[in-house]
Amino acid sequence: MNTPDPHQPAILAPAGNRASFLAALAAGADAIYCGLKSMSARMEAKNFSLEELAQLVGLAHDRGVKVYVTLNVLLKPDELDRTGRLIDDLQRHVHPDALIVQDLGVVALARQAGFGGEIHLSTLANVSFPRALGYIARKLAADRVVVPRELSIDEIRAMADACPKAMGLEAFIHGALCYGVSGRCYWSSYMGGRSGLRGRCVQPCRRHYRQGGRAARAFSCQDFSVDVLVKILGQVKKVLAWKIEGRKKGPHYVYYTVTAYQMLRDRGSDARMKRDALGLLGQSLGREATHYRFLPQRPQQPIDTRRQTASGLFMGKVQGPAKNPWVVVRQPLLPGDVLRVGYEDEAGHAICRVTRHVPKKGRYPLNLGGRKTPAPGAPVFLTDRREKALEKMMADVEAHAAPQEPIVPSRFTAELPRRSDVKSRRPVEVRVSRMPSRGSGRHPAGMWLSETAAANVGRSAATSLWIWLPPVVWPDDEARVAGLLRQCLESGARQFVLNMPWQMALFHRPEGLNLWAGPFCNAANALCLETFKTLGFAGAFVSPELGEPDLLSLCRQSPLPLGIVLSGHWPLCISRTLAEDVRLRAPFESPRGEQAWADRFGPDYWIFPNWRLDITEKRTLLQQAGVQMFAHLDETVPKAVTLKKRPGLWNWKIGLK
């Protein structure tokens, strides 16, 4: 049974299937996080049925291991009852220790269902600055916040210093890095409705992009690994858990990473133990790793276009004739190993299962059964491994699992809020820009918060000007943003669009102000909007990812006046980094001919497609449905970029997957 030192951070392991869950237990993880087959932000993982999860959670609890269930997706209007029933079933039959959520509608459902475990806010909730923590503790009573992977150790310390006594933090220490900030990436959704906020990302950032005649994987990050630097992180006592990313990984990865970080946590001062732990991480079948921004005095660029960024351990390159290719391996191969030939977005990509032992520098034929013809020189990666010793340990753990009784389905029905009874009035239409604008007699002006905006508030009709807050606020930028807000307020501004609900914490006295939750708050269901109402918002923009049926349904259910982005330049994603060889305000192109450009605003990089979101043809329908604010987001298009004429309906017709 695990008896972790309460003063040590828990090692939190990922599990996307039964084998990985058992591997986490075999390795001695302190806690495991996993998802169900629906409502999980890693829907491409196999995940668990309720019956299977109930059995595994019982097995974990018998060993003193906690289990956190991820319900960290954006919920559409018609998914509240189904999600509430899942939570009720979890509460009655599975008994997880916590739910990991991003959508505040899920928090409301958990309260309605009487969930007795903890509530953890996912990194997708984008809680990224210190003042947010006290606000969340007071208003939502969340027990833990998962901080962004982009934070340095100094910024994590700043978050810890602001963290209330009853709340804890959780920090990622190892695993894949997304290019976009969590909760601020719409790239996959914009290209075909498969949203990262719903666990269905197709990873367009991992593809080749061409700029100035050179093609490279210019947005494909290496893995993040704190490795030996966890000793520094261990000094931050408010960080209660070290989180390993990887719910799509196999048991080998889970066992090796958990074991390595146990060694570094418990005996990291031992030079030999440290060396052995690094050896395990090097063999865990991930990408090449980076410390990213963890050390502020020595930040590392997470994108190196000259290196491999595919998942798995690089084993060699395809050689020989097209009909009978082989690879000379850099590491020994074991029977049952899984090889991936090429990148997943390239022609000739294939999976090959190893049938025999192959020594280091041995030749192994890539027998693909005639299905695929890999290109000469294509990379070959080891992506999964099943050592006999690990299989035996997993079997020994599983032998203690108790039979699971059938689950009686829940009859839970969500209690929806009362629809807004605000009388319909002429909608407000706002043009939002980066530079000062006086608007017009009919349309008030909107400006993104910046030094320019703050300096020009007094020159505009301050009472009609709408100030839009940034979608991300970092710890080391919090004071600047708060100062700009204060300057705007002193100049008479009274109307603000907040792009994180926790930005309420930046207002000393929000009473008397007209505060709306912005489109980056990702509101997509009535219970989320009801929570915004209790937080003091006068209205809310709906998520721009929704399709027509969901938008109209939400209009019928909303307890708040609603706004929508009607047209403009919506970003594919927002990031804290940019590859050194990507030029700002210059077009780049995907293999499919999709063009985009990068620009920088404040500390962040925004990636824009070369076509505009445009649902203005639906304006009358939306106004009839009750939408009371329409926004147009204007950006200065670089001279080198040619905007493409194409429908900008986003998911209006195809729906949000």
Q: What pLDDT, on the 0 to 100 scale, is given for residue 457?
A: 85
> At 139, which CATH number?
3.20.20.70
**Is 276 found in the same domain as 318?**
no
Give domain status of residue 232, yes or no. Answer: yes
Q: What pLDDT, on the 0 to 100 scale, is given for residue 464?
A: 86
Q: What pLDDT, on the 0 to 100 scale, is given for residue 549?
A: 97
Q: How far is CA 429 from CA 126, 436, 505, 553, 587, in A?
A: 28, 17, 27, 22, 30
| Rounded Cα distance, 233 and 99, in Å | 24
With residue 162 as reference, give the H or E element that holds it.
Answer: helix 153-162
Give domain status of residue 296, yes or no. Answer: no
| Rounded Cα distance, 127 and 634, in Å | 27
| Rounded Cα distance, 606 and 603, in Å | 10
Q: What pLDDT, on the 0 to 100 scale, is given for residue 461?
A: 64
Amino acid at 109: L
Q: Please give the angle made by the CA atoms of 459, 463 and 468, to the nearest 5 degrees.
A: 85
**Is 90 found in the same domain as 217?**
yes
**Is 510 found in the same domain as 368?**
no
**Is 437 found in the same domain as 363?**
no
**Is 337 found in the same domain as 278?**
no
| Rounded Cα distance, 468 and 485, in Å | 10
CB 318 within 8 A of CB 325: yes
Give domain status of residue 300, yes or no. Answer: no
Q: What pLDDT, on the 0 to 100 scale, is given for residue 420?
A: 78
CB 329 within 8 A of CB 360: yes
**Is 477 found in the same domain as 347?**
no
Write out the two tokens for 507: 């207002």
**Is 380 found in the same domain as 433?**
no
**Is 232 found in the same domain as 89?**
yes
SS3 58: helix
Give which of 32, 25, 117, 104 is closest to 72, Cα–Cα: 104
Q: pTM for the full model? A: 0.95
- Phi, psi dihedral angles at 391 (to 5 degrees): -60, -40
> At 342, which CATH number?
2.40.30
Q: What pLDDT, on the 0 to 100 scale, is given for residue 6?
A: 63
SS3 11: strand
**Is 330 found in the same domain as 277?**
no
CB 54 within 8 A of CB 407: yes
Q: What pLDDT, on the 0 to 100 scale, is given for residue 423?
A: 60
**Is 279 found in the same domain as 324?**
no
Give domain status of residue 152, yes or no. Answer: yes
For the chain, residues with pLDDT lower than 50 are none
Q: What pLDDT, on the 0 to 100 scale, is given for residue 460?
A: 54
The whole domain housing 85 covers: 10-198+212-285
| Rounded Cα distance, 103 and 171, in Å | 20
**Is 223 found in the same domain as 164?**
yes
Q: How many domains does the chain have?
A: 3
Give domain status of residue 241, yes or no. Answer: yes
| Rounded Cα distance, 527 and 101, in Å | 14
What is the C-alpha end-to-end distance of the chain, expressed in Å? Answer: 41
> At 542, which CATH number?
3.20.20.380
Q: What pLDDT, on the 0 to 100 scale, is given for residue 458?
A: 74
CB 623 within 8 A of CB 429: no
Residues sharing a CB contact under 8 Å with residue 555, sequence separation 6 or more, in sequence order: 562, 622, 625, 626, 627
Q: What pLDDT, on the 0 to 100 scale, is given for residue 122?
A: 98
Strands 588-589 and 595-601: antiparallel
Give 597's Cβ-side CA count (13 Å radius).
22
Give domain status of residue 645, yes or no. Answer: no
CB 518 within 8 A of CB 499: yes
Q: What pLDDT, on the 0 to 100 scale, is given for residue 306?
A: 86
Measured in whole angstroms, the distance separating CA 117 from the mean position of its chain's CA atoms is: 23
Give domain status of residue 580, yes or no. Answer: no
SS3 228: helix
Last residue of a domain, one of 267, 285, 303: 285
Give domain status of residue 395, yes or no. Answer: no
**Is 269 found in the same domain as 131?**
yes
| Rounded Cα distance, 130 and 476, in Å | 9
